[in-house]
Amino acid sequence: MRQLEIERKYLLQSLPQFPATAQSYRMDQGYFADEPGRVRRTRAPDGTMTYTHTVKKGIGLVREEIERELSADEFESLWRRTTGRRLSKTRTKVPEGNLVWEIDDYDALDLVVAEVELPTPETRVTIPGWLAPHVVREVTEDPAYQNWAIAIRT
């Protein structure tokens, strides 16, 4: 499915205390060396596994995103092509008003990042009280905090 992703991203100094509405997911992502895109394996809180192939175009606030579901076998076949460009993380999703904040805690790095997808580029972002004390700075436009760049560092 092709769509626009409008997202702001923030570097955090530490993992916040999450509200009771939070749900955590385990993710493994791998990036291809020879073509754009990534594969992701996600384990939901109920243990359900999903597999996706995603291509994102552009950097910054607004990017094009093309995503499709994969079978477990398709994922495993593509996963082999991502050696040396992988990351694992825990993503905690927290609904806040009409938005959902996603906090990524990376396994191999001392790195925590928050992101929020927006309906329009003009949408004003108010950082929730449970998150605000942990925000170091916005990193939406900094390519060093894109997951593909993080995968290369791990």
Task: Profile the chain (154 residues) by mean pLDDT over runs of 10 residues.
Answer: 84 97 98 93 97 89 91 97 96 96 96 96 95 98 92 85
Which residue ranges make up each domain of the chain?
Answer: 2-153
- Could you give the dihedral angle defined by the CA atoms of residues 134, 96, 149 and 65, in that order, rounded to the nearest 10 degrees? -170
Task: Give me the count of residues in the chain.
Answer: 154
Residues 6 or more apart whose Cβ sits within 8 Å of residue 43:
25, 26, 27, 49
pLDDT at 61: 85
Here the contacts of 105-110 (C-beta below 8 Å, separation 24 or greater) are 105/15, 106/150, 106/154, 107/154, 108/154, 109/150, 109/153, 109/154
Mean pLDDT estimate for the chain? 94
Q: Which CATH number fits domain 2-153: 3.40.50.2300, 2.60.40.1480, 3.40.50.720, 2.40.320.10?
A: 2.40.320.10
